[in-house]
Structure 1
């Protein structure tokens, strides 16, 4: 019995979360997409903590699916940079809108579990 459909479903769920956090909202007139990460980041402390916790879900999923240590370290670094820079008022939210750590991590997750 193959576990590939279950793995694919878990990766797809992580991808959907990444897109929700990083690119789910089109900014009218600017032609860019942002997600809930920079929007929630406008709420001091609580917003940044919430989005960091949601970002860690993707890393935990990668761990559960057997991603190697180097991949997990890169993913954690992305979350750390996002959370640290994102905590700076206004400038951090602009950084969050462009850094897109969650989409980067979803890409890493997909590569880590892709069949060889």
Structure 2
């Protein structure tokens, strides 16, 4: 997958940025000897307090991009709730760190954004070979 981040404000550029950000946050690394993937969201969340705040800010970037696409307030609220829930539970010591590996708020938010893009901007779809 090409991760060159286009700087445009058109739906195609936004889709590419969002998909690249979700990949980095949720699936950039693999646990050795397994197929379990994780990303910066889980890694940064290991740092108490500050790490969870940074992970929340990175997750809210996806919400900001969704707002730029003109998504509904309901969709933006759902996405913000996903990030908030991830941040709240992720802040619990030890159990929250495990939770960060399992609950992927950014992947959930990407799914909401893709559904919007596929409906309102179908030309942004990329068919994987």
Q: Write the distance in 2 (CA, Å) between the matches of 1:37 and 1:103.
A: 11
- Alignment partner of 1:12 is 2:16: yes
1:86·1:92 contact (CA, 8 Å) conserved in 2? yes
Instruction: Give the TM-score normalised by the residue count of structure 1.
Output: 0.90
Q: Which of 35, 39, 50 is matched with 2:39 structurally? A: 35
Instruction: Give the TM-score normalised by the residue count of structure 2.
Output: 0.81
Paired residue secondary structure (1:43): coil
Flag structure 1 segments of 5+ consecutive residues without an equivalent: none
Flag structure 2 segments of 5+ consecutive residues without an equivalent: 1-8, 121-129
1:70-112 Cα shifts (integer Å, max 9, x gaps): 2111101100110001111121111111111001111111111
Instruction: Indicate the residue corresponding to 1:90 in structure 2.
Output: 94
1:66·1:113 contact (CA, 8 Å) conserved in 2? no
Paired residue secondary structure (1:59): helix
Superposed CA RMSD: 1.4
Q: Write the distance in 2 (CA, Å) between the matches of 1:11 and 1:88.
A: 32
Runs of 4 or more off by more than 6 Å in structure 1?
none
